[in-house]
Structures are given as C-alpha cells and as structure tokens.
Structure 1
Amino acid sequence: MAFRGPKVWLWRWRRNPLKRRADMVESWVVLGVWALTVLAGVLAGWATAGSVEDGLARERVEWRPLMGRLTDRAPGKPAANGSASGDRVWAKAGWTGPDGSAHTGQVRVGPGSAAGTPVTVWTDPRGRLVTEPVGAAQARLRASLVGGVAGLGVALLPFAGGRVLRGRLERRRVAQWDVDWARFDALRGRPAA
C-alpha cells in the first residue's frame, strides 16, 4: 500500500510536477464512479418506489371487503371480561363471492370466537382471500423503504466495480514506481535491490 499524506480538497485535479498519467486516470475514474453510483442508486430507488406504490394503490382499488362467517369455533379461550387482548388465532370462515360462488379460507379472529360469528374478509378480483390492503400513508412508507434498499443495492454495483478498478490502478502505479526507482538507482550507480 502506498503512503497517504493528509487529505487536501480536490488534490486529484491540482497541478503537480510528480503527477503521472495514472494519477489523472484514477481521478477521472473516481469522479465517474461516484457519478454513476449516485445516478444508478437514485434512478433505481425512484423507479422501485414508484412501482411498489403503484402496486399497493392498485390493491387498495381492486381488493374488496366481504362479510363472512366462521364455520367452526375458533381455538383457544375467549379473553376474560370480553376485552380484546390483541391475540389472534386462525379459524375457518366461509363467504359468498361477488359472483355468488361460495368460498372458504383461514382468517385471523379472536380466540374462542363461536361458529357463525361475522368476520370481514378481503378478496381480490378473482375471489381469492387476501390481507387487508395498506393505507396510503403506510404504502408511501413501504415504497420509500423498498426503494431505498433497492437504490442502495444497485448503487453498490458501480461502487464495487470502481473499488476493484482503483485497486488495479494502485497496484499498477506501485509497480511503475518500483521500475522508476530501479532505473533511478541504475543511473546513480547503485545495484537494484
């Protein structure tokens, strides 16, 4: 590893009689990699967030609540004093789809709910059982989080490629220094080490 001195702002573009072509190439590689990293990350994050938010908005429009009834008693004991404890169990429910066909499926209900208890079930346009769609605020949050993760993931690709390229340039530069020092030592009459 080469010796690194104190950091100087924009040192890569300053005039220096010791700067070689490899140093200038590295400066443009660094600039290009950072620009590509930021651009790729922002575009991927923005596109992914938009896609997720559109999908969740489509779910809010297409998914419909229907009234169903438990077909069997739910497992467990009901909460004391009829209070809702927040615990939910899976129970079998039946409902009639918009086309009049009968459907059954597993829904989350309070423990010990009696057979015939009315429950709200959410279905997609094909009549399949789905979860309740998320609200607009939660959809924006979820889209932002997924977009941020996707943007970071995509931005890692040019960043990692740039690090590999800079490592190769660094090794080539150090090897060139060795050649130059050997040539300098030969001019001074010293034997090469």
Structure 2
Amino acid sequence: MRALSGLWRWRRNPLRRATDLAEAWLALVALLLIAVVAPVTGCLVGAAAQDSLQQSVQRQQHARHLVTATVVRDLGGTLPEPDPDTTSAREARSRVLADWTAPDGTRQHGPVLADLKSPHRGDHFGLWTDPHGRITTRPLDSATATTHAVLAGFGAALLTAALVETGRRLTVWRLIRRRYARWDQAWDRAGPDWGKAGTGS
C-alpha cells in the first residue's frame, strides 16, 4: 500500500515542507483506518448478514416442505438446475407431468422439473413446495448462509479499505496540486530576469 510510503516524511529534514508533514499524517491515519476500521466494519457487516440469513433459513425451512411426487408422463427435454446453491451447473433436470400431495393435504398436478435422468411413469422424486403445494426452491441451509455472511464481511472490509485508500490518494493529489501552484507563484514573483547577471543589484 502506498500509504506506507508517506511515513518517511516524518524524518527530520531541513527541506521538509508542510505538505510533506501533512502527507505523513495522512498516511498514518489511512494506515490506522485500514488496520482497525476495515476489519471492524467487516465483522459488523458479517454479523448482521449472518443474523439476517439465519432468520431467513429458519423461515424457509419452516415454510418449505419436501414432498414425494409421482411421474405421470415425460414431457421431454431437460433444463439446467435452477438453484445454483444446491447442485453444480452441469446437472440437468427432466421436464415431467407429475402428481403430488401438498403438506395441507390437497392434491396437485402439473409440469415440474424432476431430478431423474430418464423418467418413466410411476417414478418417484422429491419436490420442494410451500404449505399449499406450490412449487418452490430448496430452502437455504445454515452452512450456505454462513458462507454468504462471511463473504459479505470480507467484501465490506475490502470496500472500506478501498474507500480509505481512495480518499488518501485524492487528498494527496490535491496537496500536490497546491504545491505546484505555490511553485508557479514563486517563479512568477522571481520574474523573468531571475538568474541573470546583475539581477537585484
């Protein structure tokens, strides 16, 4: 990180300018923010995401039920697995017409995706539904929720560090522009005759 390069300006030097010292302070503050604030932000965001996702896990596991469906006939064709958290993208599901009984006892009938390679009439397969038998996705599991929360925490920490470093760079850029503007003013005050023999005598 370039913030560390600003720390060398702390050393005593007769040529050290006020902007050099400002850059050193800025580098130190940025370093402390990245070392302390970024991890704390990541932990807080990760913990909040974990709480929210685990509540979602409990709601989904309470509201979604695995029922057994029976193939009536194959509708032909396969589609990719719709839930990326449950299986790899290479796996496919067959389109079938099926019957199933909802958790509330009602009989359901309709086209669904079955995890069967070659479905035949009478084959059984698992199907996730809501309490009324409407097809839904597999509920989120606790391990997957924790993984998402950890990733959210890491993302928040990295974003905080990136914002701090961006702020430091913008401030240093403004300091350098101000320094160059002062140099230009000093050269203008020196006048066009600066450096010529007899100037100022």
Displacement of 1:71: 4.2
Given the two structures, how large is their TM-score scaled by the length of structure 1? 0.66
Residue of structure 1 equivalent to 2:73: 72
Residues 74 and 112 of structure 1 are in contact (CA less than 8 Å); yes or no, is this contact kept in structure 2? no
Displacement of 1:159: 2.2
Q: 1:126 to 1:176 in 2, by over 3 A?
A: farther
Displacement of 1:37: 4.0
Displacement of 1:128: 4.9
Displacement of 1:40: 4.8
CA distance in 1, matches of 2:135, 2:45: 26
Q: 1:15 to 1:144 in 2, by over 3 A?
A: same
Matches within 5 A, 1:54-93: 54-58=51-55, 59=57, 61-62=61-62, 63-73=64-74, 75=76, 87-93=92-98
Displacement of 1:133: 3.7
Residue of structure 1 equivalent to 2:33: 36
Q: Which stretch of structure 1 is more off in the superposition, 65-74 or 18-27?
A: 65-74
> 1:81-139, CA deviations, whole angstroms, 9 ceiling, x for partnerless residues?
xxxx9543344544333333445563342232124422222245676533334544444
Count residues in correspondence: 176
CA distance in 2, matches of 1:92, 1:35: 62
Alignment partner of 1:176 is 2:182:
yes
**Larger RCO of the pair (alpha carbons < 8 Å, separation 6+):** 1
Structure 2 counterpart of 1:67, one-letter code: T
Alignment partner of 1:99 is 2:104:
yes
Displacement of 1:13: 2.0
Residue of structure 2 equivalent to 1:117: 123
Residue of structure 2 equivalent to 1:18: 15
Q: 1:30 to 1:129 in 2, by over 3 A?
A: farther
CA distance in 2, matches of 1:38, 1:124: 46
Structure 1 counterpart of 2:66, one-letter code: P
Alignment partner of 1:151 is 2:157:
yes
Given the two structures, how large is their TM-score scaled by the length of structure 2? 0.64
Structure 2 counterpart of 1:155, one-letter code: A
Q: Could you tell me which runs of 5 or more consecutive residues in structure 2 were left unpaired when the two chains were aligned.
A: 79-89, 197-201
Residues 101 and 133 of structure 2 are in contact (CA less than 8 Å); yes or no, is this contact kept in structure 1? no
Cα RMSD for the two superposed structures: 3.7
User: Kindly, what percent of the aligned residue pairs are identical?
Assistant: 32
Instruction: Identify which of 128, 143, 147 aligns with 1:141.
Output: 147
